[in-house]
Amino acid sequence: MKSALIFTLLACGACWGQTAGECKPSSLNIPGAPYPCVYPDNRVAFRVAAPDAQKVQVRLGGVHDMTRGADGLWTVTIPPQVVGFHYYSLVVDGGVMADPATRTFFGSGWDNSGIEIPAPDADFYAAKEVPHGEVSERWYFSKVTANWRRCFVYTPPNYLANPQTRYPVLYLLHGWGENEQGWSTQGHVEFIMDNLIAANKAKPMIIVMDNLNAVKPGEDDGLYTARSIIARRSPADVPPPLGTRPPAGRNRPMFPANWGETFTEMMFTDLIPMAEHTYRVLTGRENRAMAGLSMGGAQTFKTGLQHLDKFAYLGGFSGSCAGRDTAFDPKTSCGGTFADPAAFNKDVKLLFLGIGSAEGPGTKNFSEALTKAGIHNVYFESPGTAHEWLTWRRCLYDFAPRLFR
């Protein structure tokens, strides 16, 4: 049996339509939906009902034409996908839509479909028979942005049962086009932390997950939203893959000079005071960490490096203060924070740089340049993954045990 399967796989490099084992519905499908369906070799079969359509495609790791059957159902089986969570969408006669057969996930500024390709290390973010913390939805009014904002707050197991205990805090941010729900919904932050804490690998901590989109009344929030993409929907107007810049000429620059400053102001004026008033947190820089993924990593370095009096632990997951292509000069880059390595190393107990191995060498180069300049830092690489959530789940799993030591 086993050798027959291997033979099938070897002999059949291009015939994705054939079966090699049975597929299983993705864990993110709506209840009872048989498709998308993931094969043991990580090929994925899709099925969509659009009986009168001319052309239906799946956008996942490329664009895949579907084939219409006599029953009006469109199907396609696509090549093996990388393990982990992927956003994807359908294109139905030129219209970009979510697949109605999956739960939706907020990314690239809208609720697109999601699929989970089982990862060999999925155990670290699975619900297990260990004490569980909880993720709470918390609304607060921001004086800086003059509106009600929502954040999610992870409190560790037994937070409610130990009303005298205080905990250190990690402020944890999502990426461009996502929101404050990303880390719990796509990231499984609570299971990662519950499992780490149960194994005594991470200290119990509070994690505050806020929304990067912070603008004052009248300020332009085009940087954070998909406004121009949605407002001008046209055949060319499909949301760009996460982490890429919108096409030139159609949008303002993705990172204007003053980006992130309102978030920083809001964080110190509204978010941190609210968190420290509402939850039993330990205060002071040695009990405060900040991290984020992609644009949230850039925000972390922007806020954190300018306020080392506030944070002793910083993490950038696929995002930091280093440009992807520019040379790093420790004397001047990143606002000159790294000019005095001895002082920096004394202040900063952890500078963490994580990346997916498929994201290119920029972060590794940055880490090596920092090391060469005498700046202590931790480099973590997620094997085989790109600018996606499995990279960031793994980053958190490596990062959290290093905090508050």
Residues at the site binding a copy of itself, with contacts judged by CB under 8 A: 30-34, 47-56, 71-73, 90, 92-98, 100-104, 106, 109-112, 127, 129, 132, 134-141, 148, 153, 160, 163, 184, 190, 213, 221-222, 224-228, 230-231, 233-235, 237, 278-280
Output the smallest distance, CB 135 to a copy of itself, in A: 5
Torsions phi, psi of 154, nearest 5? Answer: -85, 125
Q: Tell me whether residue 13 or residue 148 sits nearer to a copy of itself (CB atom).
A: 148
Under 8 Å between Cβ of 95 and 68:
no
Q: Tell me whether residue 98 or residue 334 sits nearer to a copy of itself (CB atom).
A: 98
Residue with tokens 């606002």: 335
Angle between helices 189-198 and 389-399 (to 10 degrees): 30
Output the smallest distance, CB 292 to a copy of itself, in A: 19
Output the smallest distance, CB 166 to a copy of itself, in A: 12
Least Cα distance to 304 among 355, 353, 374 occurs for 353
Output the smallest distance, CB 54 to a copy of itself, in A: 6
Query: How far is Cα 267 from Cα 144, in angstroms, rounded to an integer?
Result: 9
Q: How far apart, in Å, are the Cα atoms of 42 and each of 20, 29, 116, 214, 249?
A: 10, 16, 10, 39, 38
Torsions phi, psi of 95, nearest 5? Answer: -95, 130
Q: Tell me whether residue 8 or residue 136 sits nearer to a copy of itself (CB atom).
A: 136
Output the smallest distance, CB 234 to a copy of itself, in A: 6
Q: Tell me whether residue 219 or residue 286 sits nearer to a copy of itself (CB atom).
A: 219
Helix (H) or strand (E) holding 315: strand 313-317
Q: Tell me whether residue 169 or residue 369 sits nearer to a copy of itself (CB atom).
A: 169
Q: Tell me whether residue 108 or residue 337 sits nearer to a copy of itself (CB atom).
A: 108
Residue with tokens 């996930």: 105
Output the smallest distance, CB 200 to a copy of itself, in A: 20
